[in-house]
């Protein structure tokens, strides 16, 4: 079989996880990349906020990488471009809103202009052996896009993130009849969103949320705060309209929200809403005339909502009788942070409404009935579930099989899948994983510095400085995060043990820096193991009279 006739699919992010999407197609020896997103780190990576896909494999194929095609402007689909484009250096295609968002992100990251081609819906792009067309599909952000990718080996329908929303507030509903026509023309494979596959029914409409929020806010007195995802332009539009209908003034707190509003206006959205005030204007308004829209709906410590809840915001204070509405989904993993925030607000006498108590949010991803309709329109020969954890992909695969899709293949990051010609199967595995963004620098997540931070977080540290001047030994010990069962200062115990060991040495041996360091490490080892199972980071520094320069030793754990 000629390799240049094959159509391959390779995810390097977003298969086996929700977020950090990066999908690759190969045909006629050339690669096409769809999306390049980030995900957010958890507590297992101290000091790290953002993770990107590991692009080592495709960097090695850079001369064959034709383009990056972006489906929409969410962080998990384009957020990694500022971090990784220098490694890839390929043309980028995006709709006007996604291009506006990306350009602002690039400026924030100190990037010069990169080649971004703005694409219109229905426009066919000839990118090497790939014929790519963008089609509008509703999502929780303007200009959500599905792609048809036509090749000599067959057509792929790549859904991107989507839902069927009859009243999306921003933009038009999905043209479902056109989806049927795409299916009529024949589709080899559908690569499809799996996020809400466990949800029965349909995801619901932004228009219905607008109606519900309008009723809830009209019934409230005092200040009302809505916290939501900054990228949800429809929800911003909703807040602006409700502010008018309830005789309130809309104000915004949070830099990312302001930037999204700027990007939306640059792409022709939100141009007709009344003037939006900044948070510093809020103290000038009566409490019952304020509708504040703010960031921090996931409990982010630096988000505006956290600062408000903990009375740390310079302009916004809430009091008994005020209301906070979490108009957002509680993303798995953020439950504790959001719960802490809600408890703090309630303790202050503030009413809190969430998706669990009231109809204040709808998802941007399809539930089971929407997935069934999509399969009915597209009728692919092959189903390829993506954008989900392993359980989501497995459930999606089972659903596709039940709908009569002839072939179902479940991908995972790094697995190369041949879609055509011949049997659909895994033909290779390549390097995949994650890079951590550490102060703007990309490092592997198993980098020594990150491992050291993790070890410090869980095991603490011991620093010993030994100085021998005029035959008098001076030992200073500092500890961090280590507790003695007796309550005694464990640093004093370590110091005493080191002094005891050195006292047993001859005068000549006391001037052997390597020996002193070894004795110190053994003393630390004995004392720590007597009181704890921890293996702290250890740094021993020795100063001798004959060597007036400081001797630094590599940080190592207790042996």
Q: What digits encode the pLDDT tens for the residues 43-56?
A: 777 778 889 999 99
Question: Is 399 in the same domain as 341?
Answer: no
Share of the chain above pLDDT 70, in %: 95
Residues 6+ apart with CB under 8 A from 527: 490, 493, 494, 497
Per-residue model confidence as pLDDT tens digits over 334-381: 889 999 999 999 999 999 999 999 999 999 999 999 999 999 999 999
Stretch (H or E) spanning 501: helix 490-503
Q: Report the pLDDT value the prediction gives residue 524, as an integer from 0 to 100.
A: 86
145 and 282 belong to one structural domain: no
* Euclidean distance between CA atoms 366 and 200, whole angstroms: 10
Residues 213 and 197 both lie in one domain: no
pLDDT(469) > 80: no
Domain extent at residue 62: 7-201+363-444
Is the pLDDT higher at 108 or at 14?
Answer: 14
Beta strands in 279-433 (DSSP E): 290-294, 323-326, 351-353, 382-386, 388-389, 407-408, 415-420, 425-429
Determine the Cα–Cα distance for residues 266 and 247; give it in Å rounded to an integer. 27
Task: Report pLDDT for 470.
Answer: 63
pLDDT at 58 over 80: yes
pLDDT in tens, 212-233: 999 999 999 999 999 999 999 9
Domain boundary among the residues 353, 380, 398 is at 353
Residue 455: inside a domain: no
Q: Are residues 232 and 267 in the same domain?
A: yes
Per-residue model confidence as pLDDT tens digits over 387-444: 999 999 999 999 999 999 999 999 999 999 999 998 999 999 999 999 988 878 888 8
Tell me, what's the pLDDT at 487? 58
pLDDT at 375: 98
pLDDT band per the 50, 70, 90 thresholds, residue 61: very high
Residue 302: CA count within 13 A, CB half-sphere: 3
Both 439 and 515 in one domain: the answer is no
Residues 314, 320, 326, 327, CA torsion sign: negative
Instruction: Name the residue with tokens 């030793």.
Output: 553
Contact 70, 88 (CB under 8 A): no
Rounded Cα distance between 542 and 549, Å, is 10
Helix (H, G, I), strand (E, B), or coil: what is residue 224? strand
User: In the predicted model, is pLDDT for residue 245 greater than 90?
Assistant: yes
Residue 162: the pLDDT is 98
Residues 89 and 32 in one domain: yes
What 3-state class would DSSP assign to 535?
coil
Q: Is residue 187 located within the same domain as residue 294?
A: no
Torsion of CA 287, 291, 295, 298, to 10 degrees: 90
Q: What DSSP letter does each residue of 98-138 carry, written as one string?
A: HHHHHHHHHHHTT-----EEE--TTPEEEETTEEEEEEE--
Q: Do 168 and 47 fall into the same domain?
A: yes
**What CATH number does the domain containing 31 carry?**
3.60.15.10
Residues 106-141: tens digit of each pLDDT: 988 877 779 999 999 999 999 999 999 999 999 999
Percent of the chain with pLDDT over 90: 71
Determine the Cα–Cα distance for residues 132 and 386; give it in Å rounded to an integer.
19
Q: Provide the number of structural domains found in the chain.
A: 3
Question: Are both 330 and 419 inside the same structural domain?
Answer: no
Residue-wise pLDDT tens digits, 164-211: 999 999 999 999 999 999 999 999 999 999 999 999 999 999 999 999
Of 188, 201, 105, 180, nearest to 152 by C-alpha is 188
Mean pLDDT of 96-104: 95
Is there a single domain that holds both residue 328 and residue 382? no
pLDDT in tens, 475-484: 888 888 777 6
One domain, residues 398 and 464: no
Look up tokens 């990251």; give the residue.
Answer: 109
Last residue of a domain, one of 302, 335, 353: 353
Residue 2: what pLDDT?
62
- Rounded mean pLDDT of the chain? 91
Do 411 and 530 belong to one domain? no
pLDDT band for 534, please (50, 70, 90 cuts): confident
Rounded Cα gap, residues 296 and 305, in angstroms? 5
């Amino acid at each position: 079989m000629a390799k240049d006739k094959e159509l391959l699919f390779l995810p390097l992010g977003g298969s086996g996880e929700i977020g950090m999407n990066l999908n690759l197609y190969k045909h006629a020896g050339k690669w096409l990349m769809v999306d390049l997103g980030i995900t957010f780190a958890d507590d297992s990576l101290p000091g790290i906020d953002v993770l990107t896909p590991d692009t080592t494999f495709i960097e090695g194929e850079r001369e064959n990488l034709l383009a990056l095609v972006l489906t929409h402007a969410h962080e998990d689909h384009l957020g990694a471009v500022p971090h990784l484009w220098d490694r890839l250096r390929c043309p980028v295609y995006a709709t006007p809103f996604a291009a506006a968002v990306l350009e602002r992100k690039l400026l924030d990251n100190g990037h010069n202009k990169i080649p971004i081609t703005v694409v219109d819906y229905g426009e066919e792009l000839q990118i090497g052996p790939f014929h790519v067309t963008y089609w509008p599909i509703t999502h929780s952000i303007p200009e959500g896009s599905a792609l048809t990718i036509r090749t000599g080996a067959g057509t792929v329908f790549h859904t991107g993130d989507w839902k069927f929303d009859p009243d999306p507030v921003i933009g038009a509903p999905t043209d479902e009849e056109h989806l049927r026509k795409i299916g009529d023309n024949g589709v080899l494979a559908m690569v499809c969103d799996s996020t809400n596959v466990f949800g029965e029914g349909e995801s619901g409409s932004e228009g219905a949320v607008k109606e519900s929020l309008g009723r809830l806010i009209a019934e409230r007195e005092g200040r009302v705060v809505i916290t939501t995802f900054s990228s949800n332009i429809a929800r911003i539009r909703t807040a602006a309209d409700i502010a008018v209908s309830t005789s309130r003034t809309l104000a915004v707190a949070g830099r990312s929200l302001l930037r999204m509003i700027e990007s939306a206006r640059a792409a022709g959205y939100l141009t007709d809403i009344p003037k939006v005030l900044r948070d510093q204007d809020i103290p000038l308004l009566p409490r019952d005339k304020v509708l504040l829209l703010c960031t921090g709906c996931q409990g982010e410590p630096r988000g505006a909502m956290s600062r408000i809840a903990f009375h740390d915001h310079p302009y916004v204070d809430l009091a008994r009788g005020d209301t906070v509405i979490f108009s957002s989904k509680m993303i798995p993993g953020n439950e504790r942070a959001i719960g802490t925030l809600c408890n703090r607000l309630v303790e202050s006498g503030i009413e809190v409404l969430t998706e669990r108590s009231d109809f204040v949010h709808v998802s941007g991803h399809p539930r089971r009935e929407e997935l069934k309709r999509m399969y009915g329109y597209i009728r692919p020969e092959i189903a390829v579930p993506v954008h989900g954890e392993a359980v989501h992909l497995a459930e999606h695969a089972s659903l596709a099989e039940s709908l009569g899709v002839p072939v179902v293949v479940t991908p995972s990051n790094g697995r190369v899948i041949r879609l055509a010609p011949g049997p659909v199967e895994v033909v290779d595995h390549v390097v995949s994983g994650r890079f951590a963004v550490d102060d703007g620098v990309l490092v592997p997540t198993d980098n020594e510095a990150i491992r050291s931070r993790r070890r410090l977080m869980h095991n603490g540290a011991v620093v010993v400085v030994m100085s021998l001047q005029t035959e008098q030994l001076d030992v200073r010990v500092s500890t961090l995060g280590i507790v003695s069962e007796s309550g005694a200062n464990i640093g004093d115990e370590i110091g005493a043990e080191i002094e005891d060991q050195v006292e047993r040495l001859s005068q000549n041996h006391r001037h052997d820096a390597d020996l002193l360091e070894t004795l110190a490490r053994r003393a630390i080892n004995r004392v720590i193991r007597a009181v704890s199972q921890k293996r702290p980071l250890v740094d021993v520094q020795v100063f001798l009279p004959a060597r007036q320069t400081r001797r630094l030793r590599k940080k190592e754990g207790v042996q």
